[in-house]
Amino acid sequence: MNDGPYRTSRDSLGDVHVPEEAYYGPQTQRAVQNFPISGLRLPRRFIKAQGQIKGAAAYAHAKLGVLDERLAQAIGQAAEEVAEGRWDAQFVVDVYQAGAGTSQNMNANEVIANRALELLGEPKDKKDVIHPNDHVNKSQSTNDTIPTAIYLSAYDALEEELLPSLKRLIEALREKAKEFHPIVKSGRTHLQDAVPIRLGQEFSGYVHTLEPIVGQVEQVQDRLLAIGIGGNAVGTGVNLPPGYIPAFLEELRRLTGRGWRQPASRFAFMQNPSGALEASSVLRNLAVHLMKITSDLRLLASGPNTGLAEIVLPAVQPGSSIMPGKVNPVLPEMMYMVGSQVIGNDTAIQTAMLGSQLEINVMMPVIAHNLLQSVTILANAMDAFSSKCVQGIQANEEKCAYWMEQSLSLVTMLNPVIGYDRAAELAKQAVKTGRPLKEIVLEAGVVTPEQWQELIDRSTEEH
């Protein structure tokens, strides 16, 4: 409990000491005392969504004539202030809290109620004027507002954070694919020599790996627009005034500028916040692909004197506390760690989804936390990776040519000319003598130097 001045507030369980300056009330204070777990709070975007939901509800009730206009305007203004971030410090409930997010919902209800009372010139906790449950939470339940807040905040995070960062990374890789197209190098499969490939073709693979994910994100965004607000406790809409759901959606669309709509089934929405699961799976897939790409870059840049060294990554900071002059691939390493966290978050979300029994999922706060964290760290990581690493990558053309000429798999190009068996004999001779394959082939007279170069050029043409 806060050691400073406090006021005595009351809920259905009795009296609670609440810090005097706090806008939250007794149910929030109980949650603070009951769940001193991680120190983590649900993020700004989620609180913004809670404010938007409460504001839309108040304005809808005023429009329907079931809430006094004066009270509705005060609640609406307080809710909009919450959405704007003015009262973030008053949202103090740990991520690991009461099931379904009841404490989080009541945190919003109490803050908005007390701020609305202040706007009306009334003291805090004057529940006979504005009650957190009867007025701010009117026509709502934790069970429909919390999954709705997940959908609202996830949509905005994908739209404003993830998609711009992903598109910037794709464009940076596309530019490198164009820049590196003239450079022919050795391909590698199973980490062994393979036929030639252009460095630009290798990078174009990264571009076309990531491009479809843009569409996948947009597809899941459309899924997130279907919100089951009005389902109330179990999906039936108990205690809703007639016309509430369309009025609410109209107000929410006005407040957010998004095309929110009703789902096919409020019962399915409340039993399983599946849109969050689908969004997380897209983020997991993105993380897996980013980890592959960054692992490739680490291999291609390995060295500089004892590795492949076909590309040079920008040097952004010293790499060792003991080895002078060492520079490490820190941006790709960072991205790999972020990807690992996102995969872990997705596993946590999948596990939390199993917490759906009967009418609701009771693990929604941890779903919200992990989903929004995944979006934020992926977006930030991609921006740092593209601007501080990808844009500055340089090709080591000499090294690319050197390794290509050392590759035994160049012999594959001779198959149509001299057949598999004869080509294999030349490859074995190169291995036995330790001489480059090109020397052995030209010495054998099976092709001229010009034909050899033509075979290399033709091998990297896309058919």
In tens, the pLDDT along 196-241 reads: 999 999 999 999 999 999 999 999 999 999 999 999 999 999 999 9
Is 455's pLDDT higher than 90? no
Average pLDDT over residues 418-424: 91
Q: Kindly report which listed range (164-168, 189-193, 453-457) carries the lowest average pLDDT score.
A: 453-457
Mean pLDDT of 179-200: 95
Q: What percent of the chain has pLDDT over 70?
A: 99
Active site (annotated) includes residue 190? yes
The radius of gyration of the chain from alpha carbons, rounded to an integer in Å, stands at: 30
pLDDT at residue 14 is higher than 50: yes
Q: What is the CB-side half-sphere exposure of residue 9 using CA atoms within 13 A? A: 27
User: For position 370, what pLDDT does the model report?
Assistant: 98
3-state secondary structure of 396: coil
Kindly tell me if the per-residue pLDDT of 283 is higher than 60.
yes
pLDDT category at 3 given cuts 50, 70, 90 is low
- DSSP states of 223-281: HHTB--TT-TTTSS-TTPPTTHHHHHHHHHHHHH-S--B--S-HHHHHH--HHHHHHHH
407 pLDDT tier (thresholds 50, 70, 90): confident
Give 463's pLDDT tier (boundaries 50, 70, 90). low
What does the pLDDT average to over 171-182? 98
> Of the residues 190, 369, 386, 463, which is catalytic?
190
- Strand pairing category for 192-198 and 184-189: antiparallel
Partners of residue 226 on adjacent β-strands: 261
List, for residues 51-91, the tens digit of each pLDDT value: 999 999 999 999 999 999 999 999 999 999 999 999 999 99
Please state, in angstroms and rounded to a whole number, the distance separating the CA atoms of residues 456 and 454. Answer: 5
* pLDDT > 90 fraction of the chain, expressed in percent and rounded: 87
Dump pLDDT digits (tens) for 40-62: 999 999 999 999 999 999 999 99
pTM (2 d.p.): 0.94
| pLDDT score for 414 | 87
* Cα–Cα distance measured from residue 22 to residue 29, given in angstroms and rounded to the nearest whole number: 10
The domains of the chain, with CATH numbers, are 6-138 (1.10.275.10), 145-229+260-397 (1.20.200.10), 407-459 (1.10.40.30)
Average pLDDT, the chain: 95
Q: Encode pLDDT of 103-153 as tens digits.
A: 999 999 999 999 999 999 999 999 999 999 999 999 999 999 999 999 999
Alpha helix locations (H) across 158-198? 163-179
Least confident of 12-21, 29-38, 415-424: 415-424
Is residue 427 within 8 Å of 418, Cβ to Cβ?
Answer: no
- As beta bridge partners, residue 9 has 16
Q: What is the mean pLDDT of residues 364-375?
A: 98
Q: Which of the residues 38, 208, 265, 320 is marked catalytic?
A: 320
- Look up 320 and say whether it is catalytic: yes
pLDDT for 320 equals 82
Residue 1: its pLDDT value, please?
Answer: 43
| Inter-CA distances, 449 with 409, 411, 416, 440, 446, Å | 17, 14, 17, 12, 10
- DSSP H or E run through 394: strand 394-395
Please tell me the predicted confidence (pLDDT) of residue 456.
84
pLDDT higher than threshold 80 for residue 423: yes
Q: For residue 221, give the DSSP letter.
A: H
Q: Which of 12-16, 270-274, 447-451, 455-459 is predicted with the least confidence, judged by mean pLDDT?
A: 455-459
Arithmetic mean of pLDDT, 279-286: 98
**Residue among 382, 391, 376, 378 nearest 316 (CA):** 391
